[in-house]
Amino acid sequence: RVLAGRGGDLAGRHVVVSAGGTREAIDPVRFIGNRSSGLQGYALARTAVARGAEVTLVSANVALPDPAGAKVVRVESATQLREAVLAAAEHADAVVMAAAVADFRPVRQSGTKIKKSAAEPDPIHLTKNPDILAELGETRRAGSGTHPRVIVGFAAETDDVLANGRAKLERKGCDLLVVNQVGENLAFGTPDNAAVVLTAEGDSVEIPRGPKEDLADVVWNLVVRRLP
Ligand code: CTP
Ligand code: CA
């Protein structure tokens, strides 16, 4: 496999990977969530460990075994994921945001379980969550604070996949954006993935359909090239 030939090209490096999907509480028993399984983020964490990195895996609501050798930080909401990622990113060479972060959360959370009654239910009002990837990029652009050298985002797009991806990479100020093609049984909950990695320089690297480990190794290859 690819790993064997890589030696420890991430030895001495600290990388942060976020994985899974956030849950935004409505009340103590209900949440707004998404379909992310965490498989791609866990594959990234495993392959980084195999390549010698110190790995912090910020994991949101996944049902997968901890990758051996990684430090796992469990979170539930986007707010918690933000705090864990930003804290770990201070000492990181690279951050890979593979997690599906909820764009919105309920403005208010009921402290008690919402009960049904004869009346129609109240609407759930939503507010925007902070954009963690954009914040990492912005901190770096401003040259303020300590920030990782390499910032990697993920995006699942449907229609104009490449144009949307290119705009997103620029908007968020990341170095690499892994753009998944959603549909045809790819991406969510499946062992395989296919993607195009866009770079800040305007290049694109196509990754054919294959195991999420293979995609992870291509991502780390591209990250390694950007590290001094
Ligand atoms: N992301 C993030 N914080 C958010 C939302 C997204 O850090 N609040 C990260 C994701 O982890 C991913 C990247 O941004 O690496 C792209 O996420 P995506 O949902 O595709 O981008 P959005 O900017 O939310 O745009 P869209 O309207 O297409 O959902
Ligand atoms: Ca989004």
What confidence tens digit (pLDDT) does each residue in 21-38 have?
A: 999 999 999 999 999 999
Would you state the pLDDT for residue 94?
98
- List of E strands, the chain: 14-20, 24-27, 30-32, 54-60, 70-75, 94-97, 104-106, 126-128, 150-157, 176-181, 192-199, 204-211
The CB of 103 under 6 Å from ligand 1? The reply is: yes
Nearest CA to ligand 1 atom 24: 103
Question: Which residues are part of the catalytic machinery?
Answer: 34
In the structure, what pLDDT confidence band is assigned to residue 4 with cuts at 50, 70 and 90? Answer: very low
Would you state the pLDDT for residue 146?
79
Which of the 8 DSSP states describes residue 212? Answer: H
Q: Is the pLDDT of residue 5 over 60?
A: no
Model pTM score: 0.95
Q: Which has more pLDDT, 91 or 4?
A: 91
Number of neighbouring beta carbons within 10 Å of residue 59: 25
What confidence tens digit (pLDDT) does each residue in 180-220 have?
A: 877 666 656 777 888 999 999 999 999 999 999 999 999 99
Ligand 2 (ion): residues with CB under 5 Å are 103
What confidence tens digit (pLDDT) does each residue in 79-129 have?
A: 999 999 999 999 899 999 999 999 999 999 999 999 999 999 999 999 999
ipTM attached to this prediction: 0.99
Separation between Cα atoms, residue 32 and residue 26, nearest integer Å:
7
